Amino acid sequence: MKVIVAGLSKTGTKTMCAALKILDYKVYDNFEHYWFHTKEWMKIMETGGTINMFREMYEDVDAVTDQPACLFWEQILETFPDAKVILTLRDEDSWWKSYKFQLEELNRDVPSKIFNFVPFMYSHRFLKDFCRVGFGLDVSYFLGQVCSTNEMVARMKFRQHNSYVLQNAPKDRLLVYNVTEGWQRLCSFLEKNIPDEPFPHKNVKAKYLTELKRDSEVARNLWLYYKIGVFLVFAIPVLFALYYAF
């Protein structure tokens, strides 16, 4: 583990994930956390984790971004004490606006974009645990809808999280960063050469799931398997009916 991105969701974490991949880091973002370590993260969020658990989960990973790893950056750093910490920040009002818009997009698109894409990953229990641990909120799915959150509580947790990271992360290995700053400060901090390609800009207007299916090989494969499964569910009864009919 070389880089721990401690910024909360909607602070440019998808952009950070893309940028770190361009810099040749092996990155686990929220999709990888849930897909590869579902049981481990459920245990960590409900009863706590251990150094051995984090080491087994991330010993072959270079960087972690987004939820739920951002909430446990301190334990991950304890496990990998040589790692650097990046706190992605943005203006609180724009963060809340983006966070609220993401929830609204999920409310509109859950049936088609989540339950049909990775129904077993974004589970009721996972969402409740993350929102409870991260924001002190009781959020749950109800008939395909993501219930709204309390703005005051979310804003308070946002401030508390950022203040805690600023106060407790080792100052000589902490970068406080806004993704609008581009390559220069990031590459200087990570001691990397500035790439020839433009700095990425991801999850614009809550398009994460669309980008995920396009950019992630694991997600593309899962989407393909799911479409094959759906086809078989409908095709097999039809084939049997045709077979017995004739």
Residue type, 86: I
Strands 141-142 and 145-146, by their bridges, are antiparallel
User: What whole-number distance in Å separates Cα of residue 68 and Cα of residue 155?
Assistant: 18
Distances (CA, A) of 199 to 195, 196, 210, 230: 8, 9, 19, 38
Q: What is the pLDDT along the chain (246 residues), one digit of tens a residue?
A: 999 999 998 999 999 999 999 999 999 998 888 888 888 998 898 888 999 999 999 999 999 999 899 999 999 999 999 999 999 999 999 999 888 887 776 666 544 444 444 444 445 566 666 667 766 666 555 444 555 567 888 899 999 999 999 999 999 999 999 999 999 999 999 999 999 999 998 655 545 555 555 555 656 666 565 567 656 666 777 666 666 666
Which helix (H) or strand (E) segment holds residue 28: the answer is strand 27-28
Residue type at position 228: I
Question: What's residue 117's pLDDT?
Answer: 45
Task: State the pLDDT at residue 229.
Answer: 63
Q: Do residues 86 and 3 lie in contact, with contact meaning Cβ atoms separated by under 8 Å?
A: yes
Residue 138 has a pLDDT of 61
**Inter-helix orientation angle 208-215/217-245, to 10°:** 90
Which of left, alpha, beta for 144 (phi over 0: left; psi -120 to 50: alpha)?
Answer: left
Task: Give the CB-side neighbour count of residue 163, counting CA atoms within 13 A.
Answer: 7
- The pLDDT assigned to 230 comes to 59
List all residues 6 or more positions away from 90 whose beta carbon is below 8 Å from its beta carbon.
10, 11, 12, 98, 178
Longest dimension (CA), the chain: 76
For residues 79 and 1, the answer to whether their CB atoms sit within 8 Å is: yes
This prediction's pTM: 0.78
| pLDDT value at residue 154 | 85
Angstrom CA distances, 140 to 19, 23, 38, 128, 172, stand at 32, 36, 18, 6, 39
pLDDT at position 136 is 64
